[in-house]
Structure 1
Amino acid sequence: MNRKYAFIYPVLLMIFLAIGLLLGARLNQPEPQAVSGNYSKMQEIITLLDREYVDSIESKKLFEKTISDMLHELDPHSNYIPYEDLQAMNEQIDGKFGGIGIRFAIIRDTLCVTNVIPNSPSFGMGVLAGDKILMIDGKSIAHKKIRNDDVMAKLKGEPNTKVKIQLYRNKKKIEKTIVRGVIPIPSIVCAQMLDEKTGYIRLDNFSVSSAEEFHDAAARLKAKGMKKLIFDLRDNGGGVLDGAVKIADEFLPEGRKIVIIKGKKFLSTTRFARAGGLLEKTPLVLLINENSASASEIVAGAIQDNDRGMIIGRRSFGKGLVQQDFSLSDKSDLRLTIARYYTPSGRCIQKPFGESYEDYYHSNEKRRDNGEYFTPDSSVFKNATKFKTLKGRIVYDGGGIMPDIFVPLDTSNSTLYYLTLRYSGVFQQVAFDFVANKRNSWSSIQEFTRTFDTPEPLIKKLIVEGEKLKIPFDAADFARSEELIKHVMKAEIARQLFIEEGYFFIVASYDKEVQSALRFLER
């Protein structure tokens, strides 16, 4: 008899369990009025504005701005992201996008191909660096006021879709139909040997692929004889937290703390280094500046608190909050702060955000005006809590990572004339013209660096092209900035030939922070 009805008991148990869960969920739900009341009020106000306000309004835009402003009252990093903006942000995180695989510049209102990514769809179809694009999908873009965003919108698209372009090369028009593919966005923009023993890696952002990219780059440099490393995180605004943890893990021995994450609803987590890091024994200098934030600061904090390397540069941004994305019903995104992270010594380096949202994001301008770019300001830690590194050195919370060796911003050769040229695009324009028939003249970055010096005629052309853009020549400023102008011209030519890797390799030869790091590693 018991065996006959034995199947009933599990069924009854499941029914009672379901009823219990349902009752529990209903008891834990807030009152419907509490949930919908404020939303209804907001909707009512926007409806009234839309109907009665003296001028017409964009109610959707106003509603979205209201959401953003509400989130910014909580903290500066919680944010609402409309669906139309989400794809571009996710591309940086994912480290890839759908496109044809070229790098371009708009020079004299003409879309010019500066580089073609190897093994990309454009590479396979025979597009060459130096080509000019006249038409995209039958629409002329030549000699019109076009913007980078407009070009990207036309060339990017879902993989396996087609785009037709018309090229201009050697006074001939060439038609190409290119099938878009998945194009990687490298987060490592330079990985080169600066001398026989010292490697240099510059990471621009932390994407899903960054840790793997870093491991591969470090392995390549070790195979070339790297015994010391300069790791450049300047101007790196952060990104994927897991990438920061994995990269820090390459330097730290097993069991060392990397980061601690705590939140109200977030289960407190401590991430520890595992055995087998590729660079555990490699002497390290890590470069940071005022724009190094978030994931960059996780790496810098882990290195500093574990006394694993030397931090050189200027005080980092000070972002110690962790965000999580929540997808909304209309495919927009709520990026909400869910936790704080703490360095291994226990400090949270998040700077205060009691000021306005705009002031928070422009606080670096205040640092500059206060002279902090040129002299370290210890007063920012006046009321901060002291912590100790593994070897007992004092470090502070609440205002970013203070470097172990401060290097002031180098403005010694910078003048108004140089800066005006720099931001006009004329360096890029002259470099593009210069390499037109020289793209195969140098087999490597090292050969170019060793054999090329910026010739005087090229500088004269830069001055003339600047005057065409209504930048009058200033003899006094030029005399002061001449050496810098020659350096930057060489770097821009290297960018045309070897993409970002060439540019940053040349810049490293005169960059004060890199040179300071080299001197430290030579001790």
Structure 2
Amino acid sequence: MNSSNKALYPLIGSLLVAVGIFLGIFLTDGKTSSSSSSIEGKYEQKLADIIQVLDREYVDTIDKKQLFEKTISDLLHGLDPHSNYIAAEDLAAMSESIQGKFGGVGIRFTIYDDTLSVVNVIDQSPAFKVGIQKFDQIINVDGEDIANVGLSNEHVRELLKGEEGTPVNITILRKGEKLNKKVIRGAVPIESISASYMLTDDIGYIRLGQFSMQSANEFYVAAIALKGQGMKKMVFDLRYNGGGVLGSAVSILDAILEKGTPIVSTKGKNNPERIIYSESKPFLGHVDMAVLINSSSASASEIVAGAIQDNDRGTIIGRRSFGKGLVQQDIQLKDGSNLRLTVSRYYTPTGRSIQKPYMENYEDYMMDELNRYENGELYELDSSLLADSLKYTTPKGKIVYGGGGIMPDIFVPLDTTGSSMYYRRLQYANVFNEFSYHYARFNDLTKYRNVQAFDREFKLTEKILNDFKKYAADKHDIAFNEREYQLSLERIKTSVKAEIARQRWLELGAYYIFNKNDNEINTAIKALQ
């Protein structure tokens, strides 16, 4: 450890004490007594003095703002892992996922040959209205040349995103011709449902990636469409869903649970128990449910899975969920930043606390998924988690388990068959996505009527696979390994085909292909049948 960093720790300790008082200054409305004002002024001055000494005397240059904000975050993480400080400049990005939209031009892109290339143009978006097309290459934004400069995804977003109604000037290259386009940014939706389609004649599938303010509306539209196609049973995929807006989760459960059914309760030291019940007649009330979860399913996802499990409304399939059961309240500070403070806990209808145990070490808590991987929990059901003291009983007599996270009714181990270092290098280098874009540029995918026809008719020939291997070697310096290639061949074939399908039908295309060999989905189909 750097000795100069060690020297900061005693000073940071002093800052932690001072910040507790300093936060009070931010949150007060100015109506304080003269004695309390003098105390606050004393600590406010002490904090200013410490930072001034650091700035003047410390061995290296310090960023005063960054140090102060890091100190606040460490203070809050010492209370629990989900209380947090959010700087004013970070609030906008966080609100986008909650609102389900952002200000932008309305394209999906990839960086191909170090050039920003358009993968898809959202219908009726600002980019659509000025005639930007799929496969256009964007080479200049507001006077900045961005081709062949080591472009990053983050910088692309910085250039194209912005407030609704603001202009951005774009130069595109189309079949060798340069075209200038002035785009007025608008509201671009962030769709939370990435795929919905029929798995079988009577089993529908909906994958929800996050809970935004738009998620319930998206879910209702998708579910109604699937019912119209004959859906009598549903696989609801909440894997890798980290949560979001509780109200959307409750609205979705209104479509599934009978009116008056308990959904979740919250309780805290300063917040009396509050129980949320379903309020509507469920239009999916007679649809059998299977819910998929894994160790990245958290918060609102766990509330949905817990409510369905505890009310004997469906089967939970997969692996133990993340275990985030702390409720945060946002408190805006005077400088526009945000204090996200834990005020209560979530409990499932049987009384289980969703929150997994936590100690003071924030890093250990956030690395829990890696620990599960290393201790084998992702491959085999950990019976030690099924402690007698943590048993709860549903209305129909099923035993469910507490202790943090939602334990599935049917455990499905993580599938690592066909994995290899060669395959992982292809994934990390984004070769599958880039190659599929390259393939779609020079091959007509519009001849396939829909993704089902593509799945039946598209042939992944030896030539395509050879071109893929050559692309990986030439563009990303990934040397071909025959043994590992053969070991991962089925995974490689599936990934290439799925990513080509994504070029034509976006997430629906990719998930349609990937899901055919998905163990959790196949387990859910068997359970529902």
TM-score interval (norm. to shorter): over 0.9
Partner of 2:462: 456
Partners in 1 of 2:312 and 2:153 — Cα distance?
A: 44
1:264 is displaced (CA, Å) by 2.3
Partner of 1:185: 190
1:380 is displaced (CA, Å) by 2.8
Partner of 1:446: 452
Is the contact between residue 259 and residue 298 of structure 1 (CA under 8 Å) also seen in structure 2?
yes
Partner of 1:510: 517
Identical residues among aligned pairs (%): 49
Partner of 2:26: none
1:101-500 to 2 correspondences below 5 Å:
101-382=106-387, 384-437=389-442, 438-468=444-474, 469-500=476-507
- 1:48 aligned to which of 29, 45, 53: 53
Is the contact between residue 78 and residue 360 of structure 2 (CA under 8 Å) also seen in structure 1?
no
1:131 is displaced (CA, Å) by 1.1
Is the contact between residue 97 and residue 190 of structure 2 (CA under 8 Å) also seen in structure 1?
yes
Give the partner amino acid of 1:517: A
1:324 is displaced (CA, Å) by 1.6
Is the contact between residue 77 and residue 360 of structure 2 (CA under 8 Å) also seen in structure 1?
no
* Residues 271-308 of structure 1 deviation map (CA, whole Å, 9 limit, x = unaligned): 11123212111011000000000000000000000010
1:268 is displaced (CA, Å) by 2.4
Q: CA distance change for structure 1 residues 118 and 66 in 2, over 3 Å: closer, same or farther?
A: same
Higher mean alpha-carbon deviation, 389-398 vs 488-497, is at: 389-398
Unaligned 5+ segments in structure 2 are 1-29
* Residues 426-447 of structure 1 deviation map (CA, whole Å, 9 limit, x = unaligned): 1111100111142422232222
- Tell me the SS of whatever aligns to 1:268: strand
Partners in 1 of 2:41 and 2:224 — Cα distance?
A: 56
Is the contact between residue 215 and residue 278 of structure 1 (CA under 8 Å) also seen in structure 2?
no
Higher mean alpha-carbon deviation, 292-301 vs 462-471, is at: 462-471
Is the contact between residue 79 and residue 360 of structure 2 (CA under 8 Å) also seen in structure 1?
no
1:182 is displaced (CA, Å) by 0.6
- Tell me the SS of whatever aligns to 2:195: strand
Unaligned 5+ segments in structure 1 are 1-24
Give the partner amino acid of 2:334: S
- Tell me the SS of whatever aligns to 1:514: helix
Partners in 1 of 2:143 and 2:369 — Cα distance?
A: 45
1:90-109 to 2 correspondences below 5 Å:
90-109=95-114
* Residues 162-192 of structure 1 deviation map (CA, whole Å, 9 limit, x = unaligned): 1111111112111111111111100111111
Higher mean alpha-carbon deviation, 280-289 vs 385-394, is at: 385-394
- Tell me the SS of whatever aligns to 2:117: strand
Report which of the two structures shows the higher radius of gyration computed on alpha carbons. Answer: 1
Q: CA distance change for structure 1 residues 27 and 462 in 2, over 3 Å: closer, same or farther?
A: closer
1:384 is displaced (CA, Å) by 4.7
* Residues 92-140 of structure 1 deviation map (CA, whole Å, 9 limit, x = unaligned): 0100001110000112211111111111111121111111111111211
Partners in 1 of 2:259 and 2:344 — Cα distance?
A: 25
Partners in 2 of 1:260 and 1:302 — Cα distance?
A: 10
Partners in 2 of 1:76 and 1:395 — Cα distance?
A: 25
Partner of 1:81: 86
Number of residue pairs aligned between Structure 1 and Structure 2 = 498
Partners in 1 of 2:242 and 2:121 — Cα distance?
A: 27
Partners in 2 of 1:26 and 1:49 — Cα distance?
A: 32
Partners in 1 of 2:126 and 2:502 — Cα distance?
A: 21
- Tell me the SS of whatever aligns to 1:422: helix
Give the TM-score taking structure 1 as reference length.
Answer: 0.92
Q: CA distance change for structure 1 residues 41 and 186 in 2, over 3 Å: closer, same or farther?
A: same
Is the contact between residue 252 and residue 280 of structure 1 (CA under 8 Å) also seen in structure 2?
yes
Q: CA distance change for structure 1 residues 39 and 294 in 2, over 3 Å: closer, same or farther?
A: farther
Q: CA distance change for structure 1 residues 39 and 314 in 2, over 3 Å: closer, same or farther?
A: farther
1:462 is displaced (CA, Å) by 1.4
RMSD: 1.7
Partners in 2 of 1:36 and 1:205 — Cα distance?
A: 43
Partner of 2:3: none
Give the TM-score taking structure 2 as reference length.
Answer: 0.91
Q: CA distance change for structure 1 residues 92 and 217 in 2, over 3 Å: closer, same or farther?
A: same
